[in-house]
Structure 1
Amino acid sequence: MEKEGNANGETANMEYRQRMRQYRTVSGLTHARLAPLIPCSESLVGAVERGTRPPTEPFTRGLERVFGLDGELLELLPAIRDVNPVWFRKWPAIEAAARSIRIYQLAVIPGLLQTADYARAVFEGEPGAMSGEVEKAIKARLQRQIILSQANPPSLSVILDESVLLRCIGGPEVMTAQLAYLLDMMARPYVTVRIVPLSARSTAGLIGPFVLASDDGTNAAFLENAETGEVIHQIEVMHKLNQRWELLSGLAQPTYETIKIIKRVMEA
């Protein structure tokens, strides 16, 4: 059962989006025409209206000014306090209950293994990112990492495309510290990280990142794209993702080679 706060937050978020869509439609504005009036990006307007990005106070003040409102949308913001987008809210609970987590990532270090500074650089790169919202998102991400420090942590197996190591997110100092932290986490017996080298002649990983979580026979997956994500339970999809994992696992370097690769990047 969801906590009452989350339920109220989702209700407020839904009401916010419905009112936003109603006022936009009545005003005869498309996402593209509304964006410069706020001002913000067209993609942010669409993301807030779909519920894949939470509305911020500056964004909401811009909306109210455009639509001639007097606090109608602003009063909903306190209830929309869950920093995770609607489509992600089910996943942390699944993640926390899992006994085994497998992650494939081809763009960034996975959230469970990110440092605060690296996470900050990732969040600050989002369109329309606001400092207050970024700090809340970092706090939520670090909170999720507690599962790796609890008494009986899940086994965490990560496969990364080599390009993740070469993408200098946050600058050299942030990236070096992130890679050092990655090595520290790999020293834990329940954490494994392996690299698929750029020389691997396979397109199996190019379809995008995914996460597989298992808890005593209950399986779930999380798929994410540029704007949204989805929790998956369907047997057919899970089967295909497991096949993809096995293929990527066969391409990945063993742990000792992965450690050498990471250290080589740090020294470059």
Structure 2
Amino acid sequence: MPNVALLAIESPWWLPRPSNGVASSIPFFESVARNHNAKQNTVNLYPATFFDAASLDAALLNLFQTHENYQLLWIGAHGHGERVSANQVDKVAALVRQHGKRVKGVILSACEGAAIGRIEQAMACDAESLEHDSFGPNWVLTYRHCVHWFSAALFETALLQGAASAYAAGGVTGRPRLLEMLAASAATFSLDGPFGLNPQGESVTLGETLRLWVRPQRAQQPEDATDELLDAIRTLQGQPAADW
């Protein structure tokens, strides 16, 4: 039986007329599942589409029902304008907190996802929930700024590839192991290369826009671990850690 479910919920990035064939990140994630399943069936991909807050909620509640031991949740949508609102992000966090007990990691692939709402609250839990060792997400990743679609799709595919490998082999709960897993997955990407744009339209790097929160198992609240992740990536790349 597969150990890992990739839950990929995507809003159309552009209207069909200007985007012939309709751009989608789902084919990237299909390659992750196929790569893992070449020798042993360990990963299943469950894609869904949403168009508004109601269909996003319905997609989440539907996909949480998969049978795998571990779930990795990816949500992709435009983050500016009216596409994803703070209320939607906060509702996603609440639904994950309430129903996503087997969701271990969350990627919000949305421009300015770190500024839209408080997606990291998907990890927050009360003392009663801590009695269950398997409770909810241990990491949430998103972006501070607007990001280039193709660059982000490749980066997130690498993260899901690494995370799927780690969870297929067993649980990943402690802070050092979480950072090691994510840093190893991201190490082939330059932190200093152009990755997006700030509100002034100026180019920003992956290192400037990336944002990570972690909640080690048995902890109640998420903690910002962005600087630790960037240092861990630079170490793997043989670069000196930045002076944060």
TM-score with structure 1 length normalisation? 0.28
**Structure with the higher helix share, 1 or 2:** 1
**Structure with the higher strand share, 1 or 2:** 2
TM-score with structure 2 length normalisation? 0.30
